[in-house]
Structure formats: C-alpha cells, structure tokens
Structure 1
Amino acid sequence: MGLPIALGLLWTAVVVLWGWQTRPRQVRSPAPAPPRFRSPKTAPAVGFALAGVIALAVHPVLGIGTGLLVWVAPHRRQARQRRRQQTAIIEELPEAVDLLRLAVSSGLNIHLAVAAVGDRLPGPVGRGLADAAQQAQAGLRLADALEPLPDSIGEPVRPLVRVLIDGDRYGTELGPALEQVAADSRLLRRRQAEEHARRLPLRLLLPLVGCILPAFILLTLAPVIAETLVAMRR
C-alpha cells in the first residue's frame, strides 16, 4: 500500500508544479528584482537534502522523484526565461522598427531616433536602445554601443542592429533597410504565433490526462464496475 500512495503523491506534486509554472501572469513594467538572501547554489543542496530525508522517512520512490524535480527545475527555469526573453523581443521588434522609421522620416538623425524610440518602449529592445543612446551621450560611438546588443539581448535584434550600425558608420540610407527589417520582423512574429498555436494541444495534454480523464473514468466506469461486482456477488 505504501508504493501506490507514494506514486500518487508524486503525481499530485508533478501536476501541481506544472499548473503553478504555467499559470497566467500579469504583465508588468520591468522593475529591479529584490535581492535574494539564498544563493542559487544553496537551493539545489537544500532540495537534495530534503529528497534524502523524504527517501529515508517516507518512501524511496518519493525521495527519488523529489530529487529529480530538484535537479530538473533550475534547468527548466532557465530555459523558460530564455524563451520569454526571445518571445518579448520578437513581439516588440516590429514596433521598434516602425517607430525608428517614423522618427527617421520625420527628420531626426540616427542618434535622436534611437534615443526617442528607447524612451518609449518598455521591453528588452527599448531598454537596449535606451542604454546604447545613453552610452553614446557619454562619449561612446553609437555603432560601438549598439554592437553588443545581439549578444546581451538576443539574436532577433541582429538585423536591426546591423542596419543602425551601417547607418552610423557609413551613412547608408535607413528608410529602405528599416522597411525590409520591419517586414522580416513581422514574419518572424507571425511564425512565433503559429508555433505557439501548434504547441497548445501538447500543453493541454497533461491536464487532460491528469485531471479530466481520471474524473471521466471515475464517473463513467466506476458505477458500471460496482454494479457488475454486486451482480456477480448475487
């Protein structure tokens, strides 16, 4: 009886953890994260110690499951953070390019256009442009300030950064290049939306199998099985 109970508790923990991780979150303006008193290296050690205690005190299977969760959770958290960063960049990039086109067509030079767009976008692209504009105001060349953005923010901004660097260093015309970057960024955002739509059935599979299907089986098959057992006893 101990093994089924341990497996049931482990499955419940997995379902609850998955539901907590995929809960809808309110979009807020970026703010500095509060300092953490526990270092990232301490949390896995505490988790593995807890898994050992559970394995010795409750059941080895439950302890092994807890240890696996502790080992997998940080990697999945980092992967989710990278995916959110990429998603935010791809979502914001078309608006950034359109604002840059509007600013350049209104007569602003590349330095003023980058500073104006960076001040009006709250996402990662806007913050990167604002930081580059501040570095340019401090004396660094704008092209040199923009060059590290693909490595620090993400690869989707590389075409935009290349166009801005060419405009600052060589004086190339920004209008046609920005128009092409805008078309490519919209296509990339549409492909990302299609990819998220294709992933939706897979995300619905776990709650369907773990929550809805057992309740459906319990409501449909349990009465039939109970009546069959009663009839067989008679």
Structure 2
Amino acid sequence: MEEEAPTHPSLVFRELLSRLGNSLPASPKDMSVMQRRLVRAGMRNKNALKILYGAKIVMGVALPLLMTAIVWGTQADPTNKVMAVLAAAGLGFFGPNEYVSIVARRRQKAIQKALANALDLMVVCVESGLGLDQAILQVAKELDQAHPEISEEFGLVNLELKAGKRRQETLRNLAERAGVEDLKKLVAVLIQADRFGTGIAQSLRAHADFMRVQARQVAEEKAAKLGVKLVFPIFFCILPSLFIVTVGPIAVKIVRELIPMMTGM
C-alpha cells in the first residue's frame, strides 16, 4: 500500500478556518467590501475570505475564554470582569478585520512610494522601442526585489493579458486591485492613449512630470505644517526640560544659601 503524504499542520488549520468561515452569516455587501480589502492587502487565496471569517470565530471565542481565565481568580469588581470579557470578545471578532485593513494600507503606501520609479522605468522601456505590454512586463521583472508590491501588480497585468483579456480591462483591474489614487490616474492616462492612438511615451513622460510636481507640492505642504506640529513637543517637552536644566541649579542655590541668610539661620 502506498503511504499518504503527511499534511502540513498549517494547511489543516487553514482548512478548519475555511470550514468555520462558511458557518458565519454575512451580507453580500459586507462580503464584497471585505473581499476587496483582502485583495488590496495582497491576500488573493480563493479561500481568503472564508479563512478570515473562520479566524474571527476562533479569536472571538478564544480571547474571551482566555480573559475569563485571567480575571476569574482576581478580586476585581464583577462588572469590570464582565466588561473585560466583552472587550476581549470584541477585540477577537473585529481584530482580524483591522489587521487586514492595516496590511492593505501599508501595501498601498508601498505601491504609492514605488510608482514614481516604476513610471520612470516604463518611460525608458517605451522610448527604447518596447510596446506597452512588454514594458509592463519588464518593469515587473526589474522591480521584483526593490518594490515587490507593484511588481506583483504589474505581473498580474501581464498574466491577464496572456489569458486573452483586453488591455483596457486589465488596466482597470489593476487600478481596482491596488486602490491607489495616483495609479488610477496613470491607468486613465494609459487607457486614453490606447483608445485614441496617441503616443504612449509622450503620455507617460507628461504624467511623470505631473507626478514630480505633485510630489513636490505635497512635500512643501508637509514642510509648511511642520512648524504647527512642533508647537506641542516644544512647549510641553523641550521647554520644560530646558527650564529645569537652566533654572534648576539656581533654584537649588537659592534654597541652600539665600533663604537661610534671609531668615537669619
């Protein structure tokens, strides 16, 4: 008899979470929103949504039980114990959602940061004679190590093109998956150039110049707000420390020498 290959524990756990997720009722609207959030977080497993819902069930049960075990033998007020258990239940049930949101925002920031380099590289590729599809593929290869997030997105565009989808459809899918505003603008420029037959290189270079101006304006705006943001740490952190360092020795000397002289001690 042939022996079955051992199943990795993580796969068993994922399967368990997936089956638990099937039992959690959810509206189609909530499922659609959460599925989009998972995609933007880079979690594209076909069972990712079920696994997430399964994790919500497991965490929503495990954390309250753990909190109950912690507060059971304490002398705390019973109301506080109940509130602690309820807080643990809320954290366990809604925590996975927040984790996915944090990962999605972090990934969007990484794509936003890499977009300028990707656009410059795409301009070089197009001006050297490559078509747009080949340029996207080349950018995905070149940025694989430096910016894996945007490389993955461009790689998916190439796979969709190989699968026979129209270029405009794949570009719209790219904008929808990433959810980055500047990338949506780039996609709009590419679709317009493809639709009206204008030069891709000229459109990309113009958009690259626009992005540089926009980035400079954002940097100037942040620099202008820096003074206001420094008011609180200066007045409540730096000035008190400076006051203690400069006035402290004088105050000590007054207490030790001047006050005894004035009181005749």
* Range class of TM-score, shorter chain: 0.5 to 0.7
Residue aligning to 1:183: 209
- Cα distance in 1 for partners of 2:220, 2:66 equals 40
1:37-76 equivalent positions in 2, closer than 5 A = 39-41=54-56, 42-58=58-74, 59=76, 61=80, 64-65=83-84, 67-68=86-87, 71=91, 73-76=95-98
Establish whether residue 79 from structure 1 lines up as the match of residue 101 from structure 2.
yes
Name the counterpart of 1:164. 190
Question: 1:40 Cα shift?
Answer: 1.3
TM-score scaled by length of structure 1: 0.59
Which of 127, 132, 137 is equivalent to 2:152? 127
Give distance in 1, aligned partners of 2:174 and 2:163: 17
**Correspondence 1:101 to 2:113:** no
Checking the alignment, whether the CA contact within 8 Å between 2:111 and 2:180 is kept in structure 1 is no
Percent identity reads 24
Offset from partner CA, 1:49-79 (integer Å, 9 cap, x none):
2223333333354774575366264454233
Q: Assess if the C-alpha contact under 8 Å between 1:90 and 1:189 holds in 2.
A: no
Give the corresponding residue for 2:177.
152
- TM-score, with structure 2 as normaliser: 0.53
Conserved 8 A contact 2:55-2:96: no
Q: CA deviation at 1:186?
A: 3.9
Question: 1:110/1:32 Cα in 2 relative to 1: closer, same or farther (>3 Å)?
Answer: closer
**SS state at 1:40 partner:** helix
Paired positions, count: 178
> In 1, are the aligned partners of 2:140 and 2:155 still within 8 Å (CA)?
yes
Distance in structure 2 (CA, Å) of the matches to 1:38 and 1:73: 11
**1:160-185 alpha-carbon deviations (Å, 9 max, x no partner):** 11122223333222233222332344
User: Separation in 1 of the partners of 2:221 and 2:99?
Assistant: 23
- Residue 90 to residue 38, structure 1, CA distance change in 2 (3 Å): closer
CA contact (8 A) 2:189 2:203 kept: yes
Unaligned stretches of 5+ residues in structure 2: 1-41, 238-265
Q: Is the 8 A contact 1:48 1:67 kept in 2?
A: yes
* Partners of 1:193 and 1:51 in 2: CA distance: 48
Task: Check the 8 A contact 1:96/1:117 in 2, yes or no.
Answer: yes
Q: State the Cα distance separating 1:100 from its structure 2 match.
A: 0.9
RMSD value, Cα: 4.3
Tell me how far apart the structure 1 counterparts of residues 126 and 142 of structure 2 sit (CA, whole Å).
Answer: 15
Counterpart of 2:153, as a letter, is G
Structure 1 stretch displaced more, 158-167 or 187-196: 187-196
Query: In 2, Cα distance between the equivalents of 1:53 and 1:80?
Result: 30
Q: Which moved more, 1:101-110 or 1:78-87?
A: 78-87
Q: Which has the larger displacement, 99-108 or 77-86?
A: 77-86
* Structure ID, larger Rg: 2
Is residue 98–residue 182 contact of structure 1 (8 Å, CA) maintained in 2?
yes
Instruction: Give, as a single letter, the amino acid of the residue that structure 2 aligns with 1:181.
Output: H
